[in-house]
Amino acid sequence: MDTLPIDIPTGSREHLTLLDLQRLVRSTLEGRFVAPLWISAEISELKVNRSGHCYLNLVEKGSGEGAPRAEARAVIWKSAYARLAESFSIATGDKLRAGISILCRVMVTYHEVYGFSLQILDVDPTFTIGEVERRRRETISRLQSDGIWDMNREVELSTPTLRIAILSSGTAAGYRDFIEELRRSPYRFRTTLFEALMQGDAAEQSIVTALEDIASREQEFDVVAIIRGGGSTSDLALFDSYRLASYVAQFPLPVFAGIGHDKDVSVVDMVAHSSCKTPTAVATLLVELADNQMATLDGYALQLRDTLKTHIATERLRIERGEGELLRAATVLLNDLRYGLNNTEEALTKELRQRFDREHRRLDSASELIDSYSPANILRLGFAVVRGQRGVVAGSNDTRVGDMIVVELTDGSIEAEVKRIDKL
């Protein structure tokens, strides 16, 4: 846009005051920008004062959303603010606030004290809606190009899925509905709440921090449930951010998302392992999942029972066969032992009989020997027994001359008197 230079001669004696300069700038700007202009910018700050006027700070960020490339103050006077705010809210489901991009019709103004500013006359809500969608598409494209779009959906669910890390605001109605739905089920779910802000400028960092806390305790949980009730389109745009969606896509545990209402589908919903329309629907899905898992376990239990029955029947038959074989083997062994005992008994009996015969013969021989040494037999051999007054006379010292002795012979006895004793 070509403009003619302004050449104002000044010097040390002929100079302009600050007010003169400001008025010159004002007249120049307002002379050049006599008609309203449509501009796009992001609202970085917004404040409505007591009088009803709305004061904003508009910025245009550089690449990578770094330092602003341009910045300006703006105002919506009370006479227009209520109308613009209402029409914007109806069209977008959101309110004019910091952090959103707008297309607005402005008048360029300049004040000698307050400087350059823009007076907003109108706002086109369709631009904001389109900007949200543009950012959403950029996030999806980036996640896909990074190769992480399907990662969380490929994480395997543990069985049973009963240990749940919940990422939500502890005071949210959606959280209460979620817990109540789980409590009505027959299963003992173990839930742990990780509180996070679910809207506002600090929400993204709060949710990321909660996810990091859950990841540090990964072994304690089976699944993560991110739940948030309904909200405005711009509020829910938080869940279209690349940073948050990439955390969910790469999370080591399966993520179940229940964000917004039936019509809302965020990028986080798209990359999560499972997505439901509402927090209550997430709880219902978890209960149904537990039903299916328990049914599967019941099926395994029936299969195991049938397998055990078959195995027990097979083992019983094998044991019965073994008992029969053992009985037959025992019978054979007992017969063999009985036969062996009989043989042993016969051998012992024979041996004893032979031994008894030998002993009888030995005893008979001994008896005959003893009998041969009896006094009667000895006497028949010509020997005699001499008895004196003091008993049997075995030697010459057992009697004296003059003693009467009795000589016993085999057929009688002789009484005699000792006349002489001759010693050998």
Position 64 pLDDT exceeds 80: no
- Residue 61: predicted pLDDT: 80
pLDDT of residue 264: 63
Q: What confidence tier does 215 reach under pLDDT thresholds 50, 70, 90?
A: very high
| Digit-coded pLDDT (tens) for 154-189 | 999 988 899 999 999 988 889 999 999 999 999 999
Average pLDDT on 55-81 reads 85
Torsion angle of alpha carbons 124, 54, 68, 38, nearest 10°?
30
- Chain segment 111-128, per-residue pLDDT in tens: 988 899 999 999 998 888
Beta bridge partners of 258: 227, 276
Q: Which residues contact 77 (CB under 8 A, 6 or more apart)?
A: 53, 119
pLDDT grade for 90, boundaries at 50, 70 and 90:
confident
Q: What is the pLDDT of residue 256?
A: 96
pLDDT score for 273: 95
pLDDT of amino acid 381: 72
pTM more than 0.95:
no
Average pLDDT over residues 99-119: 91
pLDDT at 257 over 90: yes
Mean pLDDT of 192-209: 91
Question: Which pLDDT value is given to residue 63?
Answer: 60
Task: Name the band, by pLDDT with cuts 50, 70 and 90, for residue 73.
Answer: very high
Give percent of the chain with pLDDT exceeding 90.
40
Residue 148 CB contacts under 8 Å (≥ 6 apart), including other chains: 246, 249, 250, 271
Q: What pLDDT band is residue 32 in, cutting at 50, 70 and 90? A: confident
Q: For residue 1, what pLDDT is reported?
A: 52
271 — pLDDT class (breaks 50, 70, 90): very high
- At 371, is the pLDDT very low, low, confident or very high (cuts 50, 70, 90)? confident
**pLDDT 10s digits, 299-348:** 777 888 888 888 888 888 888 888 888 888 888 888 888 888 888 888 88
pLDDT in tens, 286-299: 999 998 888 877 77
- For Cα atoms 399, 404, 408, give the angle at the middle one, nearest 5 degrees: 90
Q: In the prediction, which pLDDT does 48 show? A: 94
Residues contacting residue 29 through CB under 8 Å, at least 6 positions apart: 108, 109, 110, 116
| 169-178, 214-223, 360-369, 385-394: range with highest mean pLDDT | 214-223
Per-residue confidence band for 209, with pLDDT thresholds at 50, 70 and 90: very high
Where is mean pLDDT largest: 76-80, 134-138, 340-344, 387-391?
Answer: 76-80
Which of 195, 256, 207 lies closest to 236 in space, CA to CA? 207
Residue predicted with more confidence, 347 or 223 = 223
Written as six digits, the tokens of 359 are: 């002993």
Report all structural domains of the chain as residue ranges with CATH numbers, in order of start.
18-127 (2.40.50.140), 137-287 (3.40.50.280), 376-417 (no CATH)
What is the reported pLDDT for 232? 62
Per-residue pLDDT for 2 more than 80?
Answer: no
Answer with the residue of higher pLDDT: 153 or 7: 153
What is the overall mean pLDDT for the chain? 87
